[in-house]
C-alpha cells in the first residue's frame, strides 16, 4: 500500500467520507487512491474557493470534517478566503495540500512556495509529512486536530513522494476529548448576575444557537427577565417555529450601540464581547456600554448544554416554558421586487427544515425578521467577512443533508466570486435554490463610503461600487453551468419561480432584479 492509499484508508476509517477536490500533478496518486478505496465521496470544484467553502458547509452541518484536496501553494491560496471563513466559524475541516517531492523542492520549480507559512495564517494545525511511512499517522492526527473542540482547520501538506512510496498501513485516529465542563465559579457568577436584577444580556455564539441550548436559555430568560441575543454572525442557528427567536447584534455600529445600551452585564456563551466589524472615525470599537461587564459562562471548547442546565437549576428556571416562535407565516410579497417584499415571500415560503445560507448583505437586512415564524430551519452565516462563501457553503450543506432543501440567499456582487459552485451543484444534482439579489451595485460599500467619512466621491470612485454596465445575466450564467434559472422582475414572478424550485429536485437559480 503506498502512502496515498494508507492516508485515504486512514481518513475513511476515521469517519471522513467526503473529499472536495481540485487536484494537480502532485496529487495524482491521492486521486487514484480515492478511486480505489470504498467509502469516500469525491466532489470536484472548478475553483478552490468552491472546494474550501463546500468543506465549511459540510463541517457546519455535521460537526465532522470533510477533506479538501488542493494543489500546492497556489491551489491552497486560491481557496484561502474560504479557509479563513471556516477558521473563523470554528468549522472542523481537513485540508490536504500536495507539494513537490521532497528532493525536488530545492530546484525551485515553478509551483514551489512556502505552503506551511501561508497555511498557518488560517489553520489551527499544520504539518508537512516527511515521508510515506508517516502519512497515515499524520492523517490520523489531522482528523483528530480538526475534531478538537471548538472545531479546527487542520492542514496536512503532502510532498508528492510521500504518496507514491511504500506506506505503513492504516493508522487509527486518536480519541478526541468531548466538550469540557464549565467551572463552578463561572456558573455561580452568572447566577449571581442574573439574581442581581441589573439589566443583563445572554450573548450566544459557537454551537450554542441550537435548539436544546436555546430552550434552556429561553427558560432562564423567562424566569429572570434577562435578554438574549446572538453575535452578529453565528455559524449555524436553529430557528423558526418551535425555537426560541434570538436577534443578532446588528452590523451598523449606531444600531448595535443602541441595542446594547443600558446593559450592565453580558453573560458570554461561546461568544465574545461584541466588536464593530470595522473601525470608523469617532465611533467605538467595542459596542457594549463602557460600564457593562462581561462574564464568561461557556468558553468555545466547553459544553453549553451542561452549563445552561446547571445555570437553569441555579436560578430555578427548569420548570419554566421557553417562549418559542409559533408557525405564523407572513403574507407573500407582491408588486415590485424590493428587499421588504423579498423578505415577506421568503418568510411565507421557506420549506420545512430548510438550510438557509445567507450572504444577502444589504438586500437581506430584514430577512431574519420575516422568517422567525416560518417553518423550522437552520441559518448559516459568514463568520469571516470574506464574501464569496454562500454558493460553495450551500454545496457542502446539501451534500451533508441530502434530504433537506438548501435556500441560498446571495447578493450579486458576492455571488460573482465563486459562482463556479453552480457547476458542482448541477453535476452532483444538489437540492439548492440559489436566489440572486441583482441590485447591480456593491450596495453596502455605498453606505460604508459615508460611514468612514470619505466625502464627495467622484465618478471614478462611484464606478468602483457599481457592478452594472454590462448587467450580469445570471440566468445565462447558471444555464451555462447546467443549472436551470429564471428571472423575476415582479414579486408575482419570484413567488411562482420559488414555488416551482421548491417542488423540483436538483439545483435551480432565481435572479431577482431589484
Ligand atoms: C474577499 C472580499 N473581497 C472584498 C470584500 C469587500 N466587500 C464587502 S461587501 C462587498 C460588496 C458586496 O456587494 P453585494 O454582494 O452585491 O451586496 P450588496 O452590498 O449590494 O447588498 C465587497 C466588495 C470582502 N468583504 N471580501
* Gap from CA of 241 to ligand 1 centroid (Å): 31
- Would you say 91 and 234 are in contact if contact means Cβ atoms under 8 Å apart? no
Query: What's the CA gap between 161 and 188, in Å, rounded?
Result: 56
pLDDT of residue 385: 97
Give, using CA atoms, the residue closest to atom 26 of ligand 1.
386
The three cell numbers locating residue 503: 417542488
Helices (H) and strands (E) in the chain, counts: 21, 18
Q: What separation in Å is there between the alpha carbon of 445 and the centre of ligand 1?
A: 7
Name the phi and psi angles at 341, rounded to 5: -65, -40
348 CA to middle of ligand 1, Å? 28
Closest by Cα among 170, 162, 142, 157 to 29: 162
DSSP at 302: B
Name the residue of 47, 85, 277, 361 to mutate for ligand 1: max ligand atoms within 8 A of Cβ. 361
How far is the centre of ligand 1, averaged over its atoms, from the C-alpha of 391 (Å)?
14
State the distance from the centre of ligand 1 to the C-alpha of 413, rounded, in angstroms. Answer: 6
Q: What is the pLDDT of residue 451?
A: 83
Alpha helices in 350-433 (DSSP H): 367-370, 390-400, 412-415, 421-427
pLDDT tens for 218-268 read 999 999 999 999 999 999 999 999 999 999 999 999 999 999 999 999 999
Instruction: Decide: 60 and 72 in contact? Cβ < 8 Å.
Output: no
Please give the grid coordinates belonging to residue 371.
Answer: 422568517
**Residues 46 and 420: beta-carbon distance below 8 Å:** yes
Pocket test for ligand 1, best of 366, 414, 452 (most atoms within 8 A of CB): 414
If one residue of 384, 387, 443, 446 were mutated to test the ligand 1 pocket, choosing by the most ligand atoms within 8 A of its CB, it would be: 387
d(CA 204, CA 264): 17
Q: What is the DSSP letter of 401?
A: -
Q: Which residue has the cell 475513511?
A: 12
pLDDT of 140: 98
Helix, coil or strand: residue 70: strand
Name the nearest CA neighbour of 243 among 345, 337, 368, 90.
368
Closest CA to 383 of 205, 223, 247, 121: 205
**Using a 6 Å CB cutoff, which residues line ligand 1?**
81, 361-363, 385-388, 411-414, 439, 441-445
Sign of the four-CA dihedral 155, 159, 160, 165: negative
Expressed in angstroms and rounded, the spacing between residue 203 Cα and the centre of ligand 1 is 27
- Could you give the angle at the alpha carbon of 361 between the alpha carbons of 360 and 367, nearest 5°? 60
Output the CA 465–ligand 1 centroid distance in Å: 9
CA distances from 413 to 363, 437, 465 (A): 12, 9, 10
Torsion of CA 473, 478, 479, 484, to 10 degrees: -120
User: Which ligand 1 atom minimizes the distance to the CA of 417?
Assistant: 1
CA of 514 relative to ligand 1 center, distance in Å = 17
Asked whether the bond before 50 is cis by omega within 30 degrees of 0, the reply is: no
Asked if 90 contacts 206 with a C-beta cutoff of 8 angstroms, the reply is yes
- Long-range pairs for 305-309: beta carbons < 8 A, 24 or more residues apart: 305/212, 305/213, 305/216, 306/179, 306/181, 306/182, 307/181, 307/182, 307/186, 307/187, 307/269, 308/208, 308/213, 308/216, 308/217, 308/220, 308/269, 309/216
% helix, strand, coil for the chain, step of 5: 40, 20, 40
Ligand 1, atom nearest to 386 Cα: 26
Name the residue of 339, 412, 444 to mutate for ligand 1: max ligand atoms within 8 A of Cβ. 444
What radius of gyration, in Å, describes the C-alpha atoms of the chain? 24
Report how far ligand 1's centroid is from the alpha carbon of 300 (Å).
28
Q: Which helix (H) or strand (E) holds 36?
A: helix 28-36
What is the C-alpha separation between 190 and 39, in angstroms, rounded?
46
What is residue 281's three-state secondary structure?
A: coil
Ligand 1 atom 16 nearest Cα: 413
Which atom of ligand 1 is the closest one to the Cα of 361? 21
Per DSSP, helices labelled H in 37-103 are 48-62, 72-78, 80-88
Query: What whole-number distance in Å separates Cα of residue 268 and Cα of residue 279?
Result: 23
Residue whose CA is at the smallest distance from ligand 1 atom 13: 442
Smallest CA separation from ligand 1 atom 1, residue:
386
The owner of cell 434577562 is 226
Cα 314 to averaged position of ligand 1 atoms, centre (Å):
45
Q: Which residue, among 42, 262, 30, has the nearest Cα to 157 in the 3D structure?
A: 30
pLDDT lower than 50: segments of the chain:
none
Choose among 140, 164, 142, 166: nearest CA to 153: 142
Atom of ligand 1 at shortest range from CA of 387: 26
- For residue 264, count other CB atoms closer than 10 A to its CB: 16
Measured in Å, residue 416 CA sits from the centre of ligand 1 at 10
The overall pTM is greater than 0.95: yes
CB-side neighbour CA atoms (13 Å) of 384: 21
Closest Cα to atom 23, ligand 1: which residue?
A: 442
Atom of ligand 1 nearest to the CA of 363: 21
The dihedrals phi and psi of 478, each to the nearest 5 degrees, come to -65, -45
Looking at the CA of residue 410, tell me the nearest atom of ligand 1: 15
Nearest CA to ligand 1 atom 14: 413
The C-alpha atoms of residue 84 and residue 509 are separated, in whole angstroms, by: 27
Pocket test residue of 359, 442, 465 for ligand 1, highest count of atoms within 8 A of CB: 442
Question: φ and ψ at 107, to 5 degrees?
Answer: -85, -5
CA of 123 to the centre of ligand 1 (A): 24
pLDDT at 26: 87
Amino acid at each position: 500500500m503506498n502512502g496515498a492509499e494508507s492516508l485515504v484508508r486512514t481518513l475513511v476509517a476515521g469517519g471522513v467520507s467526503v473529499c472536495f477536490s481540485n487536484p494537480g500533478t502532485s496529487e495524482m496518486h491521492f486521486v487514484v487512491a480515492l478511486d480505489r478505496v470504498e467509502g469516500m465521496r469525491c466532489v470536484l470544484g472548478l475553483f478552490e474557493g468552491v472546494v474550501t467553502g463546500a468543506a465549511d458547509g459540510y463541517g457546519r452541518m455535521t460537526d465532522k470534517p470533510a477533506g479538501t484536496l488542493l494543489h500546492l501553494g497556489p491551489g491552497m491560496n486560491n481557496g484561502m478566503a474560504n479557509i479563513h471563513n471556516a477558521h473563523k466559524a470554528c468549522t472542523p475541516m481537513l485540508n490536504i495540500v500536495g507539494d513537490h517531492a521532497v528532493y525536488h523542492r530545492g530546484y525551485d520549480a515553478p509551483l514551489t512556495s512556502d505552503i506551511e507559512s501561508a497555511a498557518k495564517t488560517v489553520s489551527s494545525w499544520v504539518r508537512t509529512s516527511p515521508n510515506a511511512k508517516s502519512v497515515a499517522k499524520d492523517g490520523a492526527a489531522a482528523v483528530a486536530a480538526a475534531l478538537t473542540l471548538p472545531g479546527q482547520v487542520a492542514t496536512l501538506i503532502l510532498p508528492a513522494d510521500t504518496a507514491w512510496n511504500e506506506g505503513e498501513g492504516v493508522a487509527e485516529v486518536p480519541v478526541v476529548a468531548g466538550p469540557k465542563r464549565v467551572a463552578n465559579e463561572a456558573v455561580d457568577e452568572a447566577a449571581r448576575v442574573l439574581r442581581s436584577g441589573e439589566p443583563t444580556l445572554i450573548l450566544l455564539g459557537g454551537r450554542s444557537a441550537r435548539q436544546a441550548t436555546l430552550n434552556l436559555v429561553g427558560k432562564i430568560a423567562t424566569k429572570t427577565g434577562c435578554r438574549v441575543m446572538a453575535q452578529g454572525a453565528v455559524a449555524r442557528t436553529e430557528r423558526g417555529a418551535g425555537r426560541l427567536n434570538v436577534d443578532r447584534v446588528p452590523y451598523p455600529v449606531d444600531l448595535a450601540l443602541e441595542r446594547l445600551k443600558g446593559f450592565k452585564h453580558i453573560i458570554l456563551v461561546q461568544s465574545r464581547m461584541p466588536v464593530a466589524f470595522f473601525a470608523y472615525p469617532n465611533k467605538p470599537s467595542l459596542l457594549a456600554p463602557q460600564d457593562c461587564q462581561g462574564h464568561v459562562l461557556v468558553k468555545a471548547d466547553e459544553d453549553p448544554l451542561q452549563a445552561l442546565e446547571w445555570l437553569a437549576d441555579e436560578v430555578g428556571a427548569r420548570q419554566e416554558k421557553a417562549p418559542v416562535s409559533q408557525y405564523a407565516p407572513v403574507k407573500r410579497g407582491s408588486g415590485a421586487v424590493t428587499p421588504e417584499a423579498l423578505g415577506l415571500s421568503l418568510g411565507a415560503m421557506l420549506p420545512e427544515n430548510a438550510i438557509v445560507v445567507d450572504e444577502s448583505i444589504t438586500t437581506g437586512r430584514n430577512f431574519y425578521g420575516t422568517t422567525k415564524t416560518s417553518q423550522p430551519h437552520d441559518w448559516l452565516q459568514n463568520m469571516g467577512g470574506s464574501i464569496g462563501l454562500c454558493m460553495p457553503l450551500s454545496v457542502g450543506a446539501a451534500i451533508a443533508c441530502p434530504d433537506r432543501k438548501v435556500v441560498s440567499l446571495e447578493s450579486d456582487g458576492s455571488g460573482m466570486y465563486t459562482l463556479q459552485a453552480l457547476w458542482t451543484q448541477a453535476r452532483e444534482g444538489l437540492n439548492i435554490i440559489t436566489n440572486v439579489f441583482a441590485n447591480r451595485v456593491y450596495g453596502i460599500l455605498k453606505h460604508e463610503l459615508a460611514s468612514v467619512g470619505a466625502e464627495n466621491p467622484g465618478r471614478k470612485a462611484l464606478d468602483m461600487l457599481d457592478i452594472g454596465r454590462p448587467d450580469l445575466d445570471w440566468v445565462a450564467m447558471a444555464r451555462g453551468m447546467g443549472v436551470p434559472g429564471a428571472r423575476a422582475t415582479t414579486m408575482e414572478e419570484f413567488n411562482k419561480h420559488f414555488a416551482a424550485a421548491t417542488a423540483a429536485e436538483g439545483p435551480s437559480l432565481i435572479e431577482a432584479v431589484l
